[in-house]
Each structure stands twice: as structure tokens, then as C-alpha cells.
Amino acid sequence: MAPGKVYLVGAGPGDPGLLTLKGKQVLERADCIVYDFLVNRDLLRLARADAERIAIGRRGAGDRIRQSDITQILIDRAREGKLVCRLKGGDPYVFGRGGEEAQALANAGITFEIVPGVSAGHAVPAYAGIPVTHRDITSTVTFIAGHEDPEKESSRLDWSQLGTCPGTLVFFMAVRNLPRITQALIEHGRDPATPAAVIHWGSLPDQKVAEGTLGDIADKAAEITSPAITVIGDVVKLRGQLNWFEHLPLFGKRIAITRARDQAGVLRDDLTALGAEVIEIPTIEIRPPDSWEPLDAAIRRLEEFQYLLVTSANGVRNFLARLAVSGRDVRALKGITIGAIGPATAAEFARTGVKVDLLPTEYVAEGLLAALGDRDLRGIAFLIPRARVARDLVPRVLEERGARVEVVEAYQTVMPEIPPEELTRLLTPPPDAITFTSSSTATNFAKLMGEDRLAETLRGAAIASIGPITSQALRKLGLTVTLEAPVSTMAGLTSVLREFFSRG
């Protein structure tokens, strides 16, 4: 058996975008992922579907696994020949006990690497608008483990030195001991009027910051729980000017998206970039058709068609994939007029160098028909690869105009199974908004929730629809559409949400 290897990877302070490129590479390759409570679970999406996932620390001391047991897991998995990603919040070597784990691996003869991460010590203050150093204020910063009680007899910290240190003090894990820490600093010479801040869940949409002075911050932060970073120093005064994160348009808003998980990326990333906390409730799952033969047969007769109309990016992907399976490529589309329902569908063609000929101004089936104008379609052959269940408007109207239409199944959408308790967890606390990107996301969400719970669950949430067809489906379910994207795209949906919450 080939020897395994352990990577101690820093996951950053919370925002998944702060994972390093090397950390991402390790996470994608790992056979086993051992992760902490502080690691953002969104990062696990990067892992292989078959990778083993081991959570080794949850909130509350009673739930924590002993350090010796953690290192034994790493050693055992490596001895099984696995590539192990030990995913740790922040940086492994900054109060992350990474040094202890590396020593244990070295003593066991296990090969390991360290992948440094973005430390919470400077990143969390940055997200709170506090630079830990500033040319005009201080050029020194000290990182301190705050869980050590200043009153114990054999402290490893020199409180007299910390009390007179002129630079920024950054305490990790100091919430429980904050009253004693502030008292010790004041007793050892630090001015009680020194600005101070405690930052809870820094870099995440539910970030909360308590501001005050060294003399009163313990009282002002009394309601804050771990995890939190405490910053003491004159740099805290800059927060009023530099607090960028909490001023993002959607900061603090919980927005649920119901798109298929493998297609939610663009919408999720756009909303996250605006500061929102995004909850994914995938109400549809994209699967291949029960048989590829109807699509393959149409591709074998591609020369018979004058038009190819595609109404979704899924249809494009699967059509082009089956074109390749048939031994052909996009050159086989020469001479065929190609229509796409919207820019996302057209972009799928563009990835292979194919430019669409018809792109409607309104990204719905009616718009695609309008793009055909008053052309004489008598005897013209159309190929439409699409989902098994879809609106019949386009083929019906084309046939009424004398065209020959062949609709073939390129994919199917099914409703995934989400246990009721998981739905309850995702929707607690209730979202500020929920988005629907198709009629099927609306109807499937209603089925998952059940008619008796639907209206109550969404009470108080802004219901955002991508366009008129989806809005119509929502209204049939008895729901009030709060927002409708002016342009039926992910960007249009994001824009209307931003505008709505900016008004509030």
C-alpha cells in the first residue's frame, strides 16, 4: 500500500472565499477531510463526492474530541494510504494546535505538509473595518491567546509588558475571560480609554461587533459568545471610516435560493458578494433522460433540420455532449440557424465557439417566438432538445405556422428528497427573501413544504421571481410575488433584490 500523507490546511476565518488556492487543490484531491467547528461548511462542496468527512469539534466543550484522538484519526487514515486534509479554521500555526498535530505526525513517521491560511487575527478585524497596523497609529501588533486566565499563578503571559505595549493587541478566544483580561491590562498600565472592539463571527454575514473602550468593552460585549476576536488599540477608531463589510447592500440578509445545487453557483456567488447569507434549498435535480436514443437519433439526422432551438443551458450542455458521443463536433451545426432563450443559454454555446443567431429581448418562450418574426416557416424543420416536462407553447405555435417540429428529451428534472427536519433547520431563522428561478422550483418547493406549511413558512419573506412565467406559477400556489426581475436572468434577480433591500 502506498503511504498516505496529511495536509494541515488553514481554511481562513469564515468567508469561504479566503481559502488559498493551494488549500482548494488539497481539498479537491483529499480522500479524507477532518474539519473543525469553525470551518465554513460551504468549503466541503469542493471535496470529492466520495471523500470521507469527519467533523471533530462542535460548539460546547462537551462535544469536543480530545486532541490525542484527533491526531490518531490523522495517523490511522494516513497509514491506510489516504491523502488526508486536516481543515482548520484560520491558520494551522496561529492558535490552531497545528504545531502539536504536526509533531504527532512526525513522531509517527507520517509525511505531512502545512498549507498556511488567512489568520482570523488580522482578517476578522479587517472585515470589521479595523486595520491592525496603520502608519499614523502603530506599527506593532501582538496576537494573544485569550483563554488563559490572567489571575492564575503560573501565567505564560507577561501582563506588565502587555499593559504597557503601545501597539495593537488582538486576543483570540477571549470572550469568557474578557472582564479579567481588561482588568489586568488596566492594572498593568493600559489606559482604560483605549478603544476596543469584540467581533463575533467575523467575515460572515452574521458578523456582529461590540465597540467601546478597554474600561467598558467587557460590559458592552457581554451578550457576545464565541467565536470572537477582541481588538484593543487606537486602530479601532478607524472602524467608523473603514467599515466596508457591514455596508454591503445585502449584509445581514438571509436569502434562500431554490435552484439545483450544481447550478446555483452564479446566483449564490453574486448574492454573497453583496453581503448576503445564502441558504441553498435545491428543489430540483438535473438528471439525464431515461434513454439517450431519441436525442442521439435526432443528432444522426441533423442535416434534416434548418433550426435548432434550445431553451436552457442544460439542453445545450447535453446536446453538445451527445454530439461529441456521436463522433461529431460543432462543425456539424454549420448551416443550421440556432436560437437560445437567453444569455446564459447562449453562453453555453459560446464556450465551444458557437454563436447563436436568435437571442430574444425577453428571455421567455414568447420572446423566442418573437425573435423568429414573420418568417415563412412552412415546411421548415425545427429540433428542440429540452427537459421532459416543459411548456408546449413554442412547438405548438411553430406547428400552427406550418413548421415540422421534433421535440426530444435532453434531460429531466426531478424533486430531490429533503427530510422535513433538514428543511426546518435551513429555514431557521426565517429567510428575509426566497428566490425562485423557474416554475418547477416553485411547485417543488410547495410539495416539499406541504400546502399547510407553505404560507406560514414564507410569512414575512420577500418572494423574488425570475420572470413572469415563474410569477404565474407562484400565484397559482397562493403566494404573493414581492419582486420580479425586470430581466429574466440571475443578474436581473440579484439586481432587483439589491434594489429592494436598499430601499428598506
Q: What is the pLDDT of residue 504?
A: 63
Please check whether residues 175 and 218 belong to one and the same domain.
Answer: yes
| Per-residue model confidence as pLDDT tens digits over 339-368 | 998 888 999 999 999 999 998 887 777 888
Query: Angle at Cα 43 formed by Cα 247 and Cα 495, nearest 5°?
Result: 40
**CA–CA dist 43, 23 (Å, integer):** 10
**CA–CA dist 309, 382 (Å, integer):** 7
Query: Angle at Cα 161 formed by Cα 158 and Cα 165, nearest 5°?
Result: 140
Q: What is the pLDDT of residue 455?
A: 84
Please check whether residues 441 and 420 belong to one and the same domain.
Answer: yes
- Name the burial class of residue 37, with classes exposed (0-12), middle (13-18) and buried (19+) by CB atoms within 10 angstroms of its CB: middle
Among the residue ranges 38-47, 286-295, 389-398, 414-423, the one predicted with the least confidence is: 389-398
Which is more confident, 296 or 392? 296
Share of the chain above pLDDT 70, in %: 96
Report yes or no: 275 and 454 within 8 Å, Cβ to Cβ. Answer: no
- At position 189, the amino acid (one-letter code) is G
Please check whether residues 163 and 16 belong to one and the same domain.
Answer: no
What CATH number is attached to the domain comprising 234?
3.30.950.10
Residue 151 pLDDT exceeds 80? no
Average pLDDT over every residue of 15-24: 97
Residue 58 pLDDT exceeds 60? no
Other beta carbons within 10 angstroms of residue 400's beta carbon come to 9
| Strands (E) located in 173-253 | 195-200, 208-213, 228-232
Other beta carbons within 10 angstroms of residue 128's beta carbon come to 26
Mean pLDDT across the chain: 92
- Name the burial class of residue 66, with classes exposed (0-12), middle (13-18) and buried (19+) by CB atoms within 10 angstroms of its CB: exposed
Position 61 confidence tier, pLDDT thresholds 50, 70, 90: very low
> Which residues lie below 8 Å from residue 257, measured CB to CB, with a gap of 6+?
264, 267, 268, 271, 278, 279, 280, 281, 434, 435, 437
Q: What is the pLDDT of residue 1?
A: 65
Residue 64 pLDDT exceeds 70? no
Q: What is the pLDDT of residue 79?
A: 96
Please check whether residues 109 and 213 belong to one and the same domain.
Answer: no
Share of the chain above pLDDT 90, in %: 76
Please check whether residues 360 and 408 belong to one and the same domain.
Answer: yes
Position 168 confidence tier, pLDDT thresholds 50, 70, 90: very high
Please check whether residues 391 and 469 belong to one and the same domain.
Answer: no
| Strands (E) located in 141-214 | 141-145, 168-172, 195-200, 208-213
- At position 317, the amino acid (one-letter code) is R
**Which one of 100, 117, 134 terminates a domain?**
117
- Name the burial class of residue 478, with classes exposed (0-12), middle (13-18) and buried (19+) by CB atoms within 10 angstroms of its CB: exposed
| Among the listed residues 249, 244, 239, the one whose alpha carbon sits nearest the alpha carbon of residue 198 | 239
> Which residues lie below 8 Å from residue 101, measured CB to CB, with a gap of 6+?
8, 67, 70, 71, 74, 86, 92
Average pLDDT over every residue of 149-167: 81
Average pLDDT over every residue of 266-285: 93
The total domain count for the chain is 4
What CATH number is attached to the domain comprising 33?
3.40.1010.10
Q: What is the pLDDT of residue 88?
A: 96
**Which one of 88, 117, 146 terminates a domain?**
117
What CATH number is attached to the domain comprising 358?
3.40.50.10090
Domain extent at residue 308:
287-413
Region for 385 from its dihedrals, namely left if φ exceeds 0, alpha if ψ lies in -120 to 50, beta otherwise: beta
Please check whether residues 379 and 232 belong to one and the same domain.
Answer: no
Residue 62 pLDDT exceeds 70? no
Report yes or no: 131 and 190 within 8 Å, Cβ to Cβ. Answer: no
**Which one of 91, 117, 143 terminates a domain?**
117
Please check whether residues 35 and 105 belong to one and the same domain.
Answer: yes
C-alpha cell at 351: 464556450
- pTM for this structure? 0.84
Please check whether residues 276 and 196 belong to one and the same domain.
Answer: no
- At position 272, the amino acid (one-letter code) is T
Average pLDDT over every residue of 171-194: 95
Which is more confident, 359 or 211? 211
Which is more confident, 445 or 2? 445
Q: What is the pLDDT of residue 60?
A: 46
Residue 135 pLDDT exceeds 50? yes
Q: What is the pLDDT of residue 262?
A: 74
| Per-residue model confidence as pLDDT tens digits over 108-118 | 999 999 999 99
The string of DSSP codes covering 399-438 is HHTT-EEEEEEEEEEEPPP--HHHHHHHTSSPPSEEEE-S
**CA–CA dist 343, 489 (Å, integer):** 8
C-alpha cell at 481: 410575488
| Among the listed residues 339, 277, 275, 283, the one whose alpha carbon sits nearest the alpha carbon of residue 312 | 339
C-alpha cell at 398: 411553430
C-alpha cell at 114: 502545512
Please check whether residues 346 and 400 belong to one and the same domain.
Answer: yes
Please check whether residues 484 and 386 belong to one and the same domain.
Answer: no
Report yes or no: 54 and 35 within 8 Å, Cβ to Cβ. Answer: yes
Cα–Cα distances (Å) from 29 to 54, 77, 111, in that order, read 16, 15, 16
Q: What is the pLDDT of residue 366?
A: 81
Please check whether residues 237 and 137 belong to one and the same domain.
Answer: yes
